[in-house]
A and B are shown apart, each in its own frame.
Chain A
């Protein structure tokens, strides 16, 4: 157990639907990162939060949004889902903003859009 908890582990939903992926960072970590892993794009950075504030955005679609709550857990919301959104979504956390002390990944949420 890495200490980063992602729920659910698996999610199957239909096109056009909306889902929420949840991430609880490792105890003491203030920064949360979301990554998408798909067969064609590989591992891509989506967004980073630090202590409740958005710090960086990567290749995140406008249909996707995220937030980090006061208890530091984070949610990634995916809406108007398309078949191409099927992927493994990882959350990672780090103690501070720079990742200087490394990143801990959760086990991922496997999203299948049918």
Chain B
């Protein structure tokens, strides 16, 4: 079973509009972290936002916010006021494991390609 599911292979959004990119995850750990990364066409992976499993408030970073619904195991990324430069692949990722378990790599979803239309 996939640990991270991004059901939208591609999305279009009008410039200046808000857009939500979906991410659901599967884990039996109580302690985990959820990350969103942006990958523009140039290829680099840019960190956007992080949500810890014990964080009670939804994370926000500028125009990015994370809609964290723990019971539903979803961690959707909301981008407000989309800009042309937001056109890119977006990846949701999860870090599992308690401190001391020894392995803390990220597991990534397949990504969503966002295209911002002028």
Contacts and interface: CB of A to CB of B under 8 A. Distances in A.
Contact of A99 (B42, B45, B104): B104
A103 B37 CA distance: 10
Interface in B36-60: 37, 42-47, 50
Given A42-B110, A102-B50, A33 B43 contact: no
Contact of B108 (A42, A97, A102): A42
Given A48-B103, A97-B104, A88 B50 contact: no
Interface string A14-52: 000000000000000000010100000011110010000
B103 A105 contact: no
A108 B105 contact: no
A90 B50 CA distance: 20
A104 B79 CA distance: 21
B43 A108 contact: yes
B43 A42 contact: no
Interface residues of B, number: 25
Contacts of A107: 42-44
A56 B99 contact: no
Contacts of A58: 105
A45 B111 contact: no
Given A43-B91, A56-B105, A99-B33, A90 B99 contact: no
Given A88-B43, A105-B45, A108-B44, A48 B97 contact: no
B104 A90 contact: no
Interface of A: 2, 33, 35, 42-45, 48, 55-56, 58, 88, 90, 92, 94, 97-100, 102-108, 110
Given A92-B45, A98-B97, 7 more contacts: A42-B108, A43-B93, A45-B105, A56-B103, A105-B47, A108-B45, A110-B43
The 8 A-B residue pairs with the shortest CB-CB distance in the complex, in nearest-first order: A105-B45, A56-B103, A43-B108, A45-B105, A99-B104, A107-B44, A98-B104, A98-B99
